[in-house]
Chain A
């Protein structure tokens, strides 16, 4: 067993007086795929946003790839560069073409030469099958295409970990599949992934472990088969009965 690439210990987070995350303990090993599910407002998104410090936690420790995230972390940008993130609302940069969206960070953050960055970007866009849209602007693409571009953009930084924050929730049903396909391919290629999603089919297909969260706590964490076949807590059973 290799060392876990993400280690979260007794992590707590408050928004003002409201406690969003309570005593979170989680270890993710390299190349593992974790699916986080749970009702809305249960803190799933906040949890993965804490992993690249888009949100700051107040108590406990988060260690990503050997570096502890805290206020003193000077090189937070280096860690973020290693952790790709895909958002529910895509968040492509509307003023840049698809190709420029993909090359911006590699060129300016990783100092990749422009030509090399463009080659890599085209390769990634080919992986998600939108290479023919490379010179269009995000506003000209469908939601599914935009989300696939967002995945390609994150991959262009060649991250060690990919975080997905409800990547299919803002999409029309017929577009969900194309995004999920891209994610499945990525999983098969061996990426370490943490995915917040309600797509249980995706969880069954690729996840190694499933985490069920409610009210800021991890209620259940189990291997995928175990989770679906034999959930332990009543809350999980209720949730699964509603969603499946």
Chain B
């Protein structure tokens, strides 16, 4: 009887258990912390295998001791309920904590402590850590590609203007709110095109022409993604409606279009757009490489968007169509006011998915010789003066893409929350 009492905490011995458990847990974490950060093995007097697993054992016992149901201490209850429900979960929790502690010092030293950022050549990087000098020196190229340095202000101004104009919605008055959709869907892309055509491309208004082949880096990533996102969405929407049309010609055309573009790899599409497509154009007719690429990606992604939107259309109950029709709405009114708003709201996660994939597919445009950020990295890493820094480059690109994509997915969550009208 006494034995059982000893193993099970109760009201009388609660604090004994609580403090012993916390102490054992803290001891185990401290041991791992010391060994990984300061390479001090506090249990070196034990055989090496036991010394290795000892923190896990001590920590598990500690967590076992503090596993007290309804202790009355709120934070302890939360911990017990979420990460300490049984011995196995306690073991997993400890393993993850120890892994993080063990991984921190090497990661930190590579990223920060042993890293180099000073100097302006490869020779500055002599330490074990990352060579951020490489990123520093090439940063300009990673952002602007081969765009001439003295003209880079043109890209800066265009992007600042476009970002500024994107926030117009926040400042519009109540009366202008109804024109916002029109603004974002039609006017804003046109402004963007005009800015890019006259300011970034140049060739008129006293600005020197910079051919699209010289564009590159992050700015090109943004330009390609921006226009592809804007074009593929309406095309996809029309294809989705077309696939459900009662008119056979439209339906078969949509099915054929969607299945064709979904069936070929993007890299092939890009290659065709740059190599084969110009052969079909009449003589003297010229379409810029970048424009061809944007059209190709837009059509390719439109096929995916179409299927995502069709999923949303099919999820709507037939009653919604009946109700709209019974009120005298025709095909377009019914879709614009009743069906599409609901269907699009349903497919926000799917659309976000497709759009994220699109942004991450843009590096493929290297096959036609356009070098956006990853393309520039590949170029830089083969530069004889800077061999051997591929790792830093890819880490840099990963961070940039992660920031872009995370911002997009956050935005899609916000949209979902904003349009949530049902309970």
Residues of A within 8 A of B (CB): 49, 52, 54, 77-78, 80-85, 87, 89, 91-95, 104-105, 108-110, 137, 139-140, 150, 153-154, 157
CB-CB contacts below 8 Å: B309-344 with A: 317, 319-320, 322-330, 333, 337-338, 341-342
Q: Which residues from A are CB-within-8-Å of B338?
A: 93, 104
Complex-state Cα separation, A157 to B320, whole angstroms = 17
9 contacts between A and B (CB under 8 A): A49-B322, A78-B328, A81-B327, A85-B322, A91-B317, A94-B421, A105-B329, A108-B329, A157-B327
With A77-B330, A139-B423 given, name 18 new contacts (CB 8 A): A54-B322, A77-B328, A80-B325, A81-B327, A82-B328, A83-B326, A84-B326, A85-B322, A91-B323, A93-B320, A94-B342, A94-B421, A94-B422, A95-B341, A104-B338, A109-B328, A137-B422, A157-B327
**Docked-complex contact A139 and B422, CB < 8 angstroms:** yes
**Docked-complex contact A77 and B422, CB < 8 angstroms:** no
Q: Which residues from B are CB-within-8-Å of A140?
A: 423
Complex-state Cα separation, A150 to B324, whole angstroms = 12
Complex-state Cα separation, A104 to B328, whole angstroms = 11
Complex-state Cα separation, A49 to B317, whole angstroms = 17
With both chains docked as a complex, state the minimum distance between the C-beta of A171 and any C-beta of chain B, in angstroms. Answer: 15
Complex-state Cα separation, A81 to B327, whole angstroms = 5
| Residue in contact with B319 in the complex, picked from A82, A89, A109, CB distance below 8 Å | A89
**Docked-complex contact A95 and B419, CB < 8 angstroms:** yes
| Residue in contact with B320 in the complex, picked from A77, A83, A91, A139, CB distance below 8 Å | A91
With both chains docked as a complex, state the minimum distance between the C-beta of A47 and any C-beta of chain B, in angstroms. Answer: 15
Complex-state Cα separation, A109 to B328, whole angstroms = 7
Count B interface residues, CB 8 Å. Answer: 22
With both chains docked as a complex, state the minimum distance between the C-beta of A26 and any C-beta of chain B, in angstroms. Answer: 19
Complex-state Cα separation, A201 to B371, whole angstroms = 77
| Residue in contact with B421 in the complex, picked from A52, A95, A154, CB distance below 8 Å | A95
| Residue in contact with A87 in the complex, picked from B322, B342, B421, CB distance below 8 Å | B322
Q: Which residues from B are CB-within-8-Å of A95?
A: 341-342, 345, 419, 421
Q: Which residues from B are CB-within-8-Å of A77?
A: 328-330
Interface centre among A84, A85, A91 (most CB of B within 10 A): A91
Query: Which residue of chain A has its CB nearest to the CB of B333?
Result: A108
Q: Which residues from B are CB-within-8-Å of A78?
A: 328
Q: Is the interface of B mostly helix, strand, loop or mixed?
A: helix
With both chains docked as a complex, state the minimum distance between the C-beta of A40 and any C-beta of chain B, in angstroms. Answer: 18
Q: Which residues from B are CB-within-8-Å of A150?
A: 323
Q: Which residues from A are CB-within-8-Å of B419?
A: 95
**Docked-complex contact B327 and A105, CB < 8 angstroms:** yes
Residues of B within 8 A of A (CB): 317, 319-320, 322-330, 333, 337-338, 341-342, 345, 419, 421-423
**Docked-complex contact A91 and B329, CB < 8 angstroms:** no
Interface centre among B327, B341, B342 (most CB of A within 10 A): B327
Complex-state Cα separation, A52 to B323, whole angstroms = 11
Complex-state Cα separation, A126 to B328, whole angstroms = 23
Q: Which residues from A are CB-within-8-Å of B319?
A: 87, 89, 91
**Docked-complex contact B320 and A154, CB < 8 angstroms:** no
Complex-state Cα separation, A150 to B330, whole angstroms = 19
Q: Which residues from A are CB-within-8-Å of B324?
A: 93
**Docked-complex contact B333 and A109, CB < 8 angstroms:** yes
Complex-state Cα separation, A82 to B320, whole angstroms = 19
Q: Which residues from A are CB-within-8-Å of B342?
A: 93-95
Complex-state Cα separation, A85 to B333, whole angstroms = 18
| Residue in contact with B317 in the complex, picked from A89, A139, A153, CB distance below 8 Å | A89
Complex-state Cα separation, A83 to B328, whole angstroms = 9
Interface centre among B319, B323, B325, B330 (most CB of A within 10 A): B323
Complex-state Cα separation, A95 to B323, whole angstroms = 14
Interface centre among A85, A87, A95, A153 (most CB of B within 10 A): A95
**Docked-complex contact B323 and A104, CB < 8 angstroms:** no
**Docked-complex contact B337 and A54, CB < 8 angstroms:** no
Q: Which residues from A are CB-within-8-Å of B423?
A: 139-140
With both chains docked as a complex, state the minimum distance between the C-beta of A99 and any C-beta of chain B, in angstroms. Answer: 13
**Docked-complex contact B421 and A92, CB < 8 angstroms:** no
**Docked-complex contact B325 and A54, CB < 8 angstroms:** yes
Query: Which residue of chain A has its CB nearest to the CB of B328?
Result: A81
**Docked-complex contact B329 and A139, CB < 8 angstroms:** no
With both chains docked as a complex, state the minimum distance between the C-beta of A176 and any C-beta of chain B, in angstroms. Answer: 20
Given A87-B319, A108-B333, A54-B326 contact (CB < 8 Å): yes
With both chains docked as a complex, state the minimum distance between the C-beta of B185 and any C-beta of chain A, in angstroms. Answer: 18
Q: Which residues from B are CB-within-8-Å of A84?
A: 326
